[in-house]
Amino acid sequence: MPTLPWTVPNTPPRGTDVHVFASRFETRTLWGALRFLARTPGVWRQVTGAPGAYGASLKAQPLRRTFWTLSAWESPEALKAFARTGTHAPTSQGLAPQMRDAKFTTWTTTSDSLPVDWSEAIRRLT
């Protein structure tokens, strides 16, 4: 699966602070990676309509059992609301046993710096 390009659900105001979230998931098995892939479209639909979402992208390396997410949000609260509702909540709970490793990081940038570069997110996650 190629990288899903940076998608902008809501245009942020110029020059405003945004909350950036990046994650890296590694599944225990190839079956776990396939389950992750199968659930991606539902979560992707949710993020593209999420209040407070200023951008999102996904990098999938299913044969390496590794997935990366990168998103920008109006606030930490907007991110938490997304994560706890809709398709994301039951999906993350259902996939938790499939995970070998998960890493998360957040930082603040300005809306003028969007989209966030993948190399920055990967640097912060490693």
pLDDT digits (tens, 9 = 90+) for 98-107: 999 999 999 9
Q: What confidence tens digit (pLDDT) does each residue in 74-102 have? A: 999 999 999 999 999 999 999 999 999 99
Q: Is the peptide bond before 115 cis (omega within 30 degrees of 0)?
A: yes
* Residue 68 near residue 105 (C-beta atoms within 8 A): no
Domain limits, the chain: 4-125
Q: pLDDT band for 2, please (50, 70, 90 cuts).
A: confident
Q: pLDDT band for 118, please (50, 70, 90 cuts).
A: very high
| Pairing of β 4-7 and β 66-73 | unpaired
Residue 1 has pLDDT above 70, yes or no: no
- Global confidence as pTM: 0.94
Q: What confidence tens digit (pLDDT) does each residue in 22-38 have? A: 999 999 999 999 999 99
Residue 52 has pLDDT above 90, yes or no: yes
Mean pLDDT of 47-69: 96
One of 3.40.50.20, 3.40.50.2300, 3.40.50.300, 3.30.70.100 is the CATH number of 4-125, namely 3.30.70.100
Alpha-carbon gap, residue 63 to 102, rounded angstroms: 17
